A = this chain, B = another copy of it.
Amino acid sequence: MIKKSILLFSLCFSFSAFSPLEEGMFPLNELHRVDLEKAGLKIPLNAIYNPNGTSLVQALVRVGGCTGSFVSDEGLIITNHHCAFGAVAAASDPEHDYITEGFMAGEKSKEIPTSIKARITASYEDVSSRVLGGLEAITDPSLRSAELHKNIEKLVDEEKAKNPELLIEVSEMLQGKSYTLFRYQELKDIRLVYVPQRSVGEFGGESDNWVWPRHTGDFSFMRAYVGKDGKPADFSPENVPYVPKQYLKINPKGVKENDFVFILGYPGRTFRNQPAQFLEYQNDYQMPYISQWFDFQIEQMQELGKNNKALEIAFASRIKSLANTTKNYKGKMQGLSRTTVIQDRQKDDNSMQLMVEADPALKAVYGTVFQDINRIYAEKLSTAQRDLWLSQVFSSSGLMYAAGFTGSRQNAYKLVEKKDRKAFLTEQLSSRKDAIGKYAGIAHPELEKRILKALLHYGATLPEGQRPESLAQFAGEKNIKEAVDAFVDKNYGKSLFSDTKKFLDLVEKSPEKVMKTKDPFLEIASDLWANLISYQEAEKKRQDELTILLPKMIDLRQMYEKTTFLPDANSTLRFTYGYVRGYSPADGEYHHPFTTVKGILQKAQNQGDYYLEDYIQQLLNSSDPTSVVCFLYNLDTTGGNSGSPILDAEGYLIGVNFDRAYTATINDFAWNEEYSRSIGVDIRYVLLILKELGKGDHLLKEMGV
């Protein structure tokens, strides 16, 4: 069903095997470039990917932002526990706490509908020439960028007209260089079948997030339904299970150390084809600032929640989300400091510049590429501290967002006719409502005051020239911190914007009152909002320029390295392979590639991240303590690969991918044999839990186990 896509590269070199061999999130049409048989694959390549017939990729499905795979001919899908979490929460109520207790439908009629939509890659083709066609003559980067996006829209519209039942997307593969059009079949009736208890599916919680050794049963089962006619349809009790073109068969024996394994999935985003300056910016600015800022917020929430159980629970998910990022960033920074990724790229850039200088033909086309990239990044770095802060102001404080929104609409509001004003404001607000009200449920004056104080203090102490005008009032003070604190303490309680839920209500009921309010935070928020808009415009301009420069840099790099590059991950279907393998996370330590039931019992506690109900402990206590739980492999994965099937050399399902080791967070920048390790829940643990805890014999039978 998948049309063989056409490859277009501006420069053509003889392909050698990619080096190092195991690196790479391969688009399916690049697969033939690797000698997979030599690597250990024991089935023919076209059993995995066959544009003209049946193959394993047809068992793949994208569920939400995750990957899943069909494991029966009745649309049964296996994915991660954390991919089903939102749906399970939505299905729960005070009488049915499926989050805590888990959920087993028992029979199809009891499966619970969700709002999850799934998509299957139907076909794709390279559309680079049509996306880039006619752009050669346009020299203005912004104009060119606008035209490029028009080309894409046109393409999508044409394709939609031809295939109204399919989802159409054009994905950028190599920035500014290659584009692929994807056609997806969308399944709209996805139901919950089995979700283990949270203590199993989330065992280890935040403590074990990005951590190996791991003991998390991070899996769940769903089922896709379609209309009686076999076509995708919204939920209806009349719907019937979807019959996939292909489904995965299970190898209940699992794999062993050093075995060949591969993964199919929808990895989200990597940054391997970016210049050295991008990594420097990430390492020196983005990641330190964001992780410090998030850590600060986490600390405040932990402190406020310490002796207040209700608050602790209310803050939990915000903390979890921030902690996930800071831990990832810290892992990446550790990785960049331990490896020479940045230094290597800098060296390469210098060598390439020499290569260009030495060849007049190259110099004519590429002479200023590195210089131009440098100039753009120099500009970006010159205000990076301010811009990173600006980009956090409105997402960190509901008050600032509400005030900024109000201030930035005041002028336009006045220009609208009186009778239309309410509608104007409602429309303006519609797409921002969620963002403004994001923290309304956990609104806590003391927390927001602390955040505001920190935000305003940061801005007020920025160097002259970068400091927004409205914060000059503090900058002149002897003790800036005291002045900011006093301002917030004095005005917070009085502010219309301090309660975002009330604010949103008021916009609906009395827009006039909102737009005419004289609020002490209004001036500051409006000013910062304007500053943020300026920054975003400058940033877009820089990105438009880079969209012209980066394809040239990639050309050079491909010439220099005498190979072609794989596109960065971009949420499209990819293949990655490697081996079950342990690693040394630090001097003196070795981590085995398998964990066992014994380790669960070592970690299990009566509360906290390792909480495990007594009856589950007892059940595991009566199991074989050496029974495998999770396993580790040197495959090249990233976010979006969550839920991806892990397959053995013969294409049997032997696990479900769900995380990476701490040292592998650096994967987003570079794969590394020493450090890149991904984590999956072993099929043996899935089967153990499904049978013993879930009493899921009928599902085992359905999967043919």
Q: Is A704 on the interface with B (CB-CB < 8 A)?
A: no
Q: Is A615 on the interface with B (CB-CB < 8 A)?
A: no
A590 touches B589 (CB 8 A): yes
B590 touches A590 (CB 8 A): yes
Which one of A178-186, A562-570, A593-601 is at the interface?
A: A593-601
Q: Is A332 on the interface with B (CB-CB < 8 A)?
A: no
- When distances are taken between beta carbons in the complex, the residues of chain B under 8 Å from A479 are none
Closest CB in chain B relative to A334 CB, distance in Å: 8
Among B338, B587, B602, the residue within 8 A (CB) of A595 is: B587
A393, B301: Cα distance in complex, Å: 32
Q: Is A237 on the interface with B (CB-CB < 8 A)?
A: no
A213 touches B591 (CB 8 A): no
CB contact list, A592-649 vs B, under 8 A: 592, 594-596, 598-600, 602-603
A588, B595: Cα distance in complex, Å: 5
Closest B residue to A214 by beta carbon equals B588
- When distances are taken between beta carbons in the complex, the residues of chain B under 8 Å from A214 are 588
- When distances are taken between beta carbons in the complex, the residues of chain B under 8 Å from A598 are 587
Q: Is A575 on the interface with B (CB-CB < 8 A)?
A: no
- When distances are taken between beta carbons in the complex, the residues of chain B under 8 Å from A215 are 587
Q: Is A658 on the interface with B (CB-CB < 8 A)?
A: no
Q: Is A212 on the interface with B (CB-CB < 8 A)?
A: yes
B213 touches A586 (CB 8 A): yes
Q: Is A303 on the interface with B (CB-CB < 8 A)?
A: yes
- When distances are taken between beta carbons in the complex, the residues of chain B under 8 Å from A589 are 213, 589-592
B303 touches A588 (CB 8 A): no
Closest CB in chain B relative to A272 CB, distance in Å: 24
- When distances are taken between beta carbons in the complex, the residues of chain B under 8 Å from A595 are 587-588
A127, B103: Cα distance in complex, Å: 70
Closest CB in chain B relative to A576 CB, distance in Å: 23
A587 touches B596 (CB 8 A): yes
B588 touches A592 (CB 8 A): yes
A602 touches B338 (CB 8 A): yes
Closest B residue to A213 by beta carbon equals B588
- When distances are taken between beta carbons in the complex, the residues of chain B under 8 Å from A588 are 212-214, 591-592, 594-596, 599
- When distances are taken between beta carbons in the complex, the residues of chain B under 8 Å from A602 are 338, 586-587
A591, B214: Cα distance in complex, Å: 17
Closest B residue to A600 by beta carbon equals B587
A213, B589: Cα distance in complex, Å: 7
A588, B589: Cα distance in complex, Å: 11
A591, B592: Cα distance in complex, Å: 11
Closest CB in chain B relative to A192 CB, distance in Å: 31
Most B-side CB within 10 Å, residue of A214, A303, A588, A598: A588
Closest CB in chain B relative to A596 CB, distance in Å: 6
Most B-side CB within 10 Å, residue of A586, A587, A589, A602: A587
CB contact list, A122-144 vs B, under 8 A: none
- When distances are taken between beta carbons in the complex, the residues of chain B under 8 Å from A596 are 587-588
Asked if A590 meets B587 with Cβ closer than 8 Å, knowing A303-B303, A338-B602, A602-B338, the reply is no
A303, B304: Cα distance in complex, Å: 12
Among B587, B599, B600, the residue within 8 A (CB) of A213 is: B587
Closest CB in chain B relative to A204 CB, distance in Å: 12
Closest B residue to A626 by beta carbon equals B587
Closest CB in chain B relative to A89 CB, distance in Å: 30
CB contact list, A345-390 vs B, under 8 A: none
Closest B residue to A599 by beta carbon equals B587
Closest B residue to A338 by beta carbon equals B602
Interface string of A63-84 (1 = CB under 8 A from B): 0000000000000000000000
Among B212, B338, B592, B594, the residue within 8 A (CB) of A590 is: B592
Most B-side CB within 10 Å, residue of A303, A589, A590, A592: A589
A669, B591: Cα distance in complex, Å: 29
Interface string of A204-221 (1 = CB under 8 A from B): 000000001111000000
A510, B423: Cα distance in complex, Å: 81
Closest CB in chain B relative to A581 CB, distance in Å: 13
30 contacts between A and B (CB under 8 A): A212-B588, A213-B586, A213-B587, A213-B588, A213-B589, A214-B588, A215-B587, A303-B303, A338-B602, A586-B599, A586-B602, A586-B603, A587-B595, A587-B596, A587-B598, A587-B599, A587-B600, A587-B602, A588-B591, A588-B592, A588-B594, A588-B595, A588-B596, A589-B589, A589-B590, A589-B591, A589-B592, A590-B590, A590-B591, A590-B592
The 8 A-B residue pairs whose C-beta atoms are closest, nearest first, are: A587-B599, A213-B588, A588-B595, A590-B590, A588-B592, A587-B598, A587-B595, A587-B596
Mark A residues whose CB is within 8 Å of B: 212-215, 303, 338, 586-592, 594-596, 598-600, 602-603
Inter-chain pairs besides A213-B586, A213-B587, A588-B594, 11 sampled, C-beta below 8 Å: A214-B588, A586-B599, A587-B595, A587-B596, A587-B598, A587-B600, A587-B602, A588-B591, A588-B595, A589-B590, A589-B591
